């Protein structure tokens, strides 16, 4: 059966590339395997979406999301600075979050919540004393954290199935980031965040999410953190490997070992923010070589064929590793729909995702479809 599936998908994958890269508008009705159908026996395929997409303003982006993905993450609208920009119960603005969740429910998506406790995109008032001149005390910040989590997770209880409870709490060396959360509350802020989230929705999957966990020191720090939480009975049930990768980092061996290491902890492993940065410095071993590299903007007229081929192979190799761990990886989420949506542009023209600026699948799309077909 597997062989039959592989043949069908491989042919269909090529057919999809031919038909969809012929400039046909996104979301055409051609019978073709979508990402979610190609991986339906392996893991969910998700995507980070923005307000223009879930409100339907970006009609072509919305069409791609519905046709290709079965999970969504909110790129920004559930972050503290957006959902509670001002203090107190009157300080919430739930409209964007409500519309994001409604879009997910209408389209039968596995809905992710991102993110409750993070050092970034959190309003200054959260950390300040009433007089606004210096940090508040531990009790005050714990109460603010508790109220925020209870209010937000409680509002979407049973609807958002998995939360990034704490995001990016570690430094590259594996030690805790010296954030205001740590400075004011102490290192138990992480445990408290998970406990508050579990109280608000006991059925939600609660995820620790971070980047560069493929690097040894940071990975060791994350494993130690999760083991400590588990020893204290803290309900951390998943880890998110963001996988903001490059063409040459991490190696497939690093990715393989990292997924295996976290799977051994007994937590679900999710790839949460996948994209391939083609513009920043590659992490070549030769520092001198790296320093010679400049932050380029070389691809303003599209990708040279060789780079397109390298991107295609990169995605195929990554998905081969994810498939090897299909029993532990439960979700792979891309951090954006099309290249034009990516945070990696930042004034330049990056090409990190599977769909181009005209919502058309790139060769990497067919390669990811075909990876699912390999026995």
Interacting residues toward ligand G3I by CB under 6 A = 75-76, 120-121, 167, 242, 273, 343
Catalytic residue among 75, 214, 255, 273: 273
* CB of residue 113 to ligand G3I, shortest distance in Å: 12
* SS3 at position 135: strand
- The 3 state secondary structure assigned to 302-329 is CCCHHHHHHHHHHHHHHHHHHHHCCCCE
* CB of residue 135 to ligand G3I, shortest distance in Å: 22
* CB of residue 347 to ligand G3I, shortest distance in Å: 12
Residue closer to ligand G3I (CB basis): 273 or 328: 273
DSSP 8-state symbol, 228: H
Q: Cα Rg for the chain, rounded, in angstroms?
A: 21
The rounded distance, in Å, linking the Cα atoms of 152 and 146 is 10
Q: Which residues contact 315 (CB under 8 A, 6 or more apart)?
A: 276, 354, 364, 367, 368, 371
The rounded distance, in Å, linking the Cα atoms of 315 and 303 is 15
* CB of residue 352 to ligand G3I, shortest distance in Å: 11
Which residue, judged by CB position, is nearest to ligand G3I in the bound state? 343
Q: Tokens 């026995």 sit at which residue?
A: 375
Residue 358, token pair as written in the block: 């005209």
Contact of 38 with 369, CB cutoff 8 Å: yes
Residue closer to ligand G3I (CB basis): 80 or 369: 80
Residue closer to ligand G3I (CB basis): 312 or 350: 350
* CB of residue 167 to ligand G3I, shortest distance in Å: 6
71, β-bridge pairs: 46, 110
Residue closer to ligand G3I (CB basis): 158 or 347: 347
Catalytic residue among 75, 168, 195, 214: 168
The rounded distance, in Å, linking the Cα atoms of 131 and 142 is 18
* CB of residue 117 to ligand G3I, shortest distance in Å: 12
Concerning whether 168 is annotated as a catalytic residue, the answer is yes
Residue closer to ligand G3I (CB basis): 33 or 80: 80
The rounded distance, in Å, linking the Cα atoms of 281 and 290 is 6
Task: Work out the number of other CB atoms within 10 angstroms of the CB of residue 33.
Answer: 24
The rounded distance, in Å, linking the Cα atoms of 185 and 192 is 10
Residue closer to ligand G3I (CB basis): 53 or 312: 53
Q: Tokens 């023209």 sit at which residue?
A: 349
* CB of residue 342 to ligand G3I, shortest distance in Å: 8
Residue 52, token pair as written in the block: 């223009």
The rounded distance, in Å, linking the Cα atoms of 322 and 334 is 13
Q: What is the largest CA-CA distance in the chain?
A: 68
* CB of residue 334 to ligand G3I, shortest distance in Å: 11
Residue closer to ligand G3I (CB basis): 13 or 352: 352
Distance of CA 229 to the CA centre of its chain: 22
| Residue 33 half-sphere exposure toward CB, CA atoms < 13 A | 27
Residue closer to ligand G3I (CB basis): 27 or 96: 96
Catalytic residues: 168, 273
């Amino acid at each position: 059966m597997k062989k039959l599936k592989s043949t069908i998908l491989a042919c269909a994958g090529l057919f999809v590339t031919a038909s969809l890269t012929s400039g046909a508008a996104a979301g055409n009705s051609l019978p073709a395997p979508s990402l979610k159908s190609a991986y339906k026996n392996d893991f969910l395929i998700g995507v980070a979406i923005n307000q223009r997409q879930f409100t339907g303003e970006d009609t072509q982006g919305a069409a791609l999301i519905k046709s290709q993905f079965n999970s969504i993450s909110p790129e920004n609208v559930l972050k503290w600075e957006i959902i509670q920009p001002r203090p107190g119960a009157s300080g919430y603005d739930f409209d964007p979050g409500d519309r994001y969740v409604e879009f997910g429910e209408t389209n039968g998506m596995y809905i992710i919540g991102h993110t409750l406790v993070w050092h970034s995109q959190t309003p200054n008032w959260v950390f300040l004393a009433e007089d606004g001149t210096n940090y508040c005390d531990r009790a005050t910040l714990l109460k603010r954290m508790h109220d925020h989590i209870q209010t937000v997770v409680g509002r979407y209880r049973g609807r958002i199935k998995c939360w990034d409870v704490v995001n990016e709490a570690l430094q590259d060396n594996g030690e805790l980031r010296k954030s205001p959360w740590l400075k004011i509350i102490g290192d138990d802020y992480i445990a408290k965040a998970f406990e508050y989230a579990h109280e608000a929705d006991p059925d939600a999957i609660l995820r620790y999410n971070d980047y560069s966990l493929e690097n040894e020191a940071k990975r060791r720090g994350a494993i130690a953190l999760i083991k400590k939480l588990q020893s204290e009975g803290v309900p951390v049930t998943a880890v998110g490997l963001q996988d903001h990768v490059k063409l040459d980092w991490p190696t497939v061996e690093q990715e393989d070992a990292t997924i295996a290491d976290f799977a051994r902890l007994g937590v679900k492993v999710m790839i949460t923010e996948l994209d391939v940065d083609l513009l920043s410095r590659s992490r070549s071993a030769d520092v001198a070589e790296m320093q010679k590299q400049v932050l380029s903007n070389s691809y303003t007229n599209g990708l040279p064929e060789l780079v397109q081929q390298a991107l295609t192979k990169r995605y195929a190799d990554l998905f081969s590793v994810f498939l090897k761990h299909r029993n532990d990886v439960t979700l792979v989420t891309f951090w954006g729909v099309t290249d034009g949506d990516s945070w990696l542009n930042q004034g330049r023209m990056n090409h990190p995702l599977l769909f181009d600026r005209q919502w058309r699948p790139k060769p990497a799309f067919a390669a990811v479809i075909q990876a699912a077909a390999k026995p």
